[in-house]
Structure 1
Amino acid sequence: MQVYRVQGLDVTFSMGSLYNFTLSNIFQALGGESVFSLDKVSAIPLIMSFLASMFCIVCRCRVGFKELLCSLLYCISSIAVLLFSNLTLVTIGFEIMALAAVCIVALGAYKGRDFAFLHYACLHFISGFLLLVGASQHAHLGVLEGVPRWFFMLGLIINTAAFPAASWLVRAYPVSSSFGMLVLSLFTTKVALYVLLKFFSGESIILYFGIFTSIYAAIFAFLEKNVRRLMAYMFVGQAGLLMMAIGCPGIPSDLIIVQLSFSVLYQLLLGMFADSVVKRSGHVDINRMAGCFKLASMEAMGCIVALLNLGGFPWTAGFVTKGLMLHMNLQSFDYMLLKYMQPMLGWLLFASNGMKIFWLACLKPCSTTPEYAPSPFSSKLSIIMLSLIITVSGVLYGEGLLFSEHKFVYTFGAVATKLIWLGGVVLFFILFRRQFLGRYESAIGDSWVYRQFFIMAEKFAHAASRMREVLGGLFAGGAFSIETSGSTVLSARSPSGVVSSTLLLVMLSICIIVLVWAYV
């Protein structure tokens, strides 16, 4: 007779003397170690943020069954990656996340989703390969070092949308549906940041990636006039700020996790406000949204809550985490770089993202009073719930009652300095607000990077073709050939070439199947 016994958090399967094993033994057999690490408690704040955010999004949006199914798979796989400690399962989790996210992008409602779908799939195919290289070494040798370690880190950096690989986010998120964009903003970059913190905390190269990513996002958010792309640049910029903290040695991981958890919430709140602006005005051009919401509306109040957290206003969680992080007794060059660069880049992102959309949608005067359709009650309710969650949890965290072992001590100097800086940035924006008007709607940021990449690829293909002609006698059997036409085509009859071509064919077939499924 088969027996199932629960022992603590483990489950035992037994049937007389035939077999007797536990669930943990199965997991240990998969990777030579327990799948779930003992520090999984550290992921609780982030998991709670994910669940609260998903609840608010589902309450807000009407969504089809396919998109809801993909989003649930996306959410479950993301939480699983947070709990896994085995690198093979972490890699598998990221691939499931990528598949679910690709389906969500394919189900988008805006023009250009086909290209964005392929762009997203190709970049995450590359990142999955890099992750698999590191996971393979860890599964075989039990260590992660050398080139595979750098490959694994690079795969995670691509998933964080760090510059110059941020284009997959900037292209894919804006063409998704309203529900899809809000869901996509929650998981991939945040989970990748958590895994980076878990395995590569204190790596200086991550600090520099974060600096360049934040600068990139601030510049192109300043120029952008498409409100959905503006939100995409906000997600990229905030990920860059968190990468700076992860890459600085000596920063406590619990502070970064709490900052990451609250970042999920207030970024989502600002994204909800932007989505309400688009739905109410019927435009994605930020210059055609003047007077969209009154200052006393629920949407405007929610945007103010998000801006206060984004700017680190006193008595918010952002003020506490940044105050503890930037006033530590560390003397390293990396910490000095973090201490002075992160606030400056944070203020730039605050002005070019948050203040820009708030002023244009709520404060910009207009000659005529436009008539907008009233916002649905579900939209207002979700914003109210999320605002309350952010405000209450931020106050509790500041008092040491939530995810903290000590109470934060407010000093007059720290509060006054923060208020002066915040007031100065707001005044600067008001004085130069005309310069913050969007000028471009195209993907100017990533298109330049990828234009240069394709130019280099074409030159490489031409050089390889010339080399084939010069050294053609060495390959008389025709085992290798490179041909160029309108686009570069790599063909090979060697075994490695057949494998590469097969993998490419499989990937393209999956993309076509998902597109057909999305349109049916």
Structure 2
Amino acid sequence: MAEVLIHPGLVLIVGAFLLPLLRGVVRSTAVVVLPLIVLWLVWQVPDGPAWQLRFLDYTLTPLQGDKLSRLFATIFSLMAAGGGLFAMTQKSRIEVPAAYVYAGSAIGVALAGDLVTVFIFWELMAVGSTLVLWSQGTDAAYRAARRYLMIHLLGGVVLFAGVTGHIVNTGDVTFTRMALDSPAHWLILIGFLVNAGAPPLSAWLSDAYPEASWSGTVFLSAFTTKTAVYVLIRGFPGTELLIWVGLFMVFYGIIYALLENDLRRILSYSIINQVGFMIAGIGIGTEMALNGAAAHAFAHIIYKALLLMSAGSVVLMTGKRKCSELGGLFHTMPLTAACGTIGALAISAFPLTSGFVSKSMVSQAALDGHLMWVWLLLTAASAGVFLHAGIKFPWFVFFQKDSGLRPAEPPMSMRWAMVVFSFLCIALGVWPEPLYALLPYAVNFVPYTGAHVVTQLQLLLFSGLAFFVLLPYLKRTLTITLDADWVWRLLLPALLRNVGLPLTKAWHMLVHAAYVLITESTALVLYQHRQDGRFARTWSTRSMALWVLVLLLGFLVIYYL
């Protein structure tokens, strides 16, 4: 079987290059069927190495299966199919093929058994995602794509240095658990965290994702940060530092999402917040916590895609993206409003939705590990999630004051994608056993206990009450929220203009002056050495004796001093 086994990620990548050659119904069918074929191939990969090859005296494993890799490869395939269905009417001929290269590379990372293969697919993801962003075709998208690519190339260089150092130190390329016991492992961790959206280099996410097309943002939300979660589970489980990194991300995302006015920037900051929950679970490192991080990544891809589908539908049908410009859309977009509300409830961990059965595992792991402060902070963060994504997004976009806009529902393919993902959000919440069966460790967790349900409902109830009490302070205006990217977008260019350029000019003047001095001095020396020059003349013995005496006296003075 190993001789005829096909790599699922490569199938999706190769298929992506064939899509531009197709037209009409054939192309539309291929857009949905291709990821489903890849999903079937994912489940043909057996446990253990399936492909191995020799490269520079090392054994690479481009294809390897186990429960964790199969879980992530499965959700990446489903996301590619759902995103392709949603983007069926996208006019850009580049976006969907680029997105499938992006998704295929994410599957390649999930199924890689060595660090070299991980790095190759990791960098290919950066190329695919940049093309998804660039395909929007606007000046804002081009500029965001350049900034996005610079950050990810920086992360790639750091990761490459770490992988190289690890291989030199250990002589092994196997991708397995690593301790923070060497500079190489620290570099690998930093490279992973860049893609996870960990501050201070997290602003690439909220800067780039909202500038993609109405469908491109859906693709972008699914793969980069979640492959980072996967490699952290694989490489750094139980690293205590990740608990605090995750908690910082949780509150960082909440604060900025509450301040934001752009509906897709709200959801972009929410991605940072939700990935923070997963990274905190990875840092806790118990089987329950790692199961929770993996389950939450699976559920998050679905409900975040659903939220961004509803947001993308609004952007497409209204041409507006600011909460202050929207409201009352449920009158003419009831299906979009209903699906967006389901996604909002799922991200808020409302009972009978997917978020309830996944996020609670991380909190329970903190409680089981007697990490009381971690549990309290995660619980407080759950209330913040309901404020910014569970209520703020649907309320300001669909249900607040009537904006006077009366857009129609989006095209049928977009509606079907939202309905399918809404069904998955509810189905996994009502019947979580299939998801639990996919997790890397045995699950001994019952989400629907009386205490857990009542506690969560109380938390959501008081969060909702706080939202409406504070509503006058939460209404957004046409403002811009500054993030850490202000440093490299405004401060550094300003310093370059006001300090760097004058220093550069001064340096060029010094170099020019030195060049002139050396040139003229050389010319003077050469002039004196000509046939009729001073040093070519015949000097008298008396003059030579005088100069020798002067030199000897100078040497004696220097010697005694």
Which category describes the TM-score, using the shorter chain as reference length? 0.7 to 0.9
Paired residues of 1:400 and 1:407 also in contact (CA < 8 A) = no
Checking the alignment, whether the CA contact within 8 Å between 1:40 and 1:82 is kept in structure 2 is no
Question: Is 1:416 aligned to 2:454, yes or no?
Answer: yes
Match of 2:71 in 1: 45
Question: Which whole-Å CA distance do the structure 2 matches of 1:459 and 1:370 have between them?
Answer: 46
The alpha carbon displacement at 1:401 in A equals 6.8
| Helix, strand or coil at the partner of 2:198 | coil
Partners of 2:351 and 2:315 lie apart in 1 by 30
Larger radius of gyration: 2
Counterpart position of 2:132? 104
**Conservation of the 8 A alpha-carbon contact between 1:222 and 1:438:** no
- Report matched runs for 1:314-325 at 5 Å: 314-325=351-362
Distance 1:277 1:152, change over 3 A: same
Which structure's relative contact order is higher, taking Cα pairs within 8 Å and 6+ residues apart? Answer: 1
State the partner residue of 2:211: 175
Structure-2 separation of matches of 1:142 and 1:163: 32
Mark the CA change 1:175 to 1:446 in structure 2 (over 3 Å): closer, same or farther: same
Q: Deviations over 1:297-355 (max 9, x none)?
A: 2222212221222111223332223333323486767x333311122123213312331
- Give the distance between the partners of 2:139 and 2:259, measured in 1 at CA: 21
Aligned partners of 2:295 and 2:435 also within 8 Å: no
Q: 1:377 aligns with which of 412, 430, 444?
A: 412
1:478-489 maps to which residues of 2 (within 5 A)?
none
* Alignment CA distance shift 1:183-1:331 (3 Å): closer
Give a deviation string over 1:222-264, Cα, whole Å, max 9, x none: 1211112222212222122222222223354222111111111
Count of residues in correspondence between the two structures: 456
Q: TM-score, normalised by structure 2?
A: 0.73
**SS of the residue aligned with 1:206?**
helix
- Tell me which residue corresponds to 2:427: 392
Q: Percent identity?
A: 23
- Aligned residue for 1:27, secondary structure, equals strand
What is the distance in 1 between the residues matched to 2:143 and 2:162? 29
The equivalent of 1:227 in structure 2 is 263
Name the Cα RMSD after superposition: 3.4
Match of 1:505 in 2: none
For the structure 1 residues 88 and 443, does the alpha-carbon distance in structure 2 shift closer, same or farther, using more than 3 Å as the test?
A: farther
Contact 1:320/1:408 (CA < 8 Å) preserved in 2? no
Q: Which residue of 1 aligns with 2:520?
A: none
**In the alignment, is the contact (CA less than 8 A) between 1:245 and 1:338 conserved in 2?**
no
Once the 2 structures are TM-superposed, how far is the Cα of residue 34 of structure 1 from its aligned partner? 5.0
Uncovered stretches (5+) of structure 2, i.e. residues with no partner: 8-48, 173-177, 516-561
Query: Structure 1 residue 302 and structure 2 residue 339: aligned?
Result: yes
Deviation of residue 443 (structure 1)? Answer: 4.9
**Could you tell me whether the CA contact under 8 Å between 1:225 and 1:287 is conserved in 2?**
yes
What are the superposed Cα offsets for residues 167-196 of structure 1, whole Å, 9 maximum, x if unpaired?
A: 211111111112211111111111011101
Match of 1:184, as an amino acid?
Answer: L
Q: How does 1:127-166 map to 2 (within 5 A)?
A: 127-140=155-168, 141-142=170-171, 145-166=181-202
Cα offset for 1:93?
Answer: 1.1
Aligned pair partner of 1:445 in 476, 483, 495:
483
Q: TM-score, normalised by structure 1?
A: 0.78
8 Å CA contact 2:133, 2:141 repeated in 1:
yes
Structure 1 partner of 2:305: 268
Q: Does the Cα contact within 8 Å between 1:398 and 1:407 map onto a contact in 2?
A: no
Tell me whether 1:58 sits opposite 2:96 in the alignment: no
Structure 2 CA distance for partners of 1:222 and 1:39, relative to 1, 3 Å: same
Q: 1:112 to 1:320 in 2, by over 3 A?
A: same
Structure 1: 5+ residue stretches without partners: 12-22, 477-520
Does residue 428 (structure 1) correspond to residue 454 (structure 2)? The answer is: no
Displacement of 1:438: 2.2
Which residue is equivalent to 1:27? 53
SS in 2 for 1:136: helix
- Structure 2 residue aligned with 1:83: 111
SS of the residue 2:53 aligns to: helix
2:291 aligned residue = 254
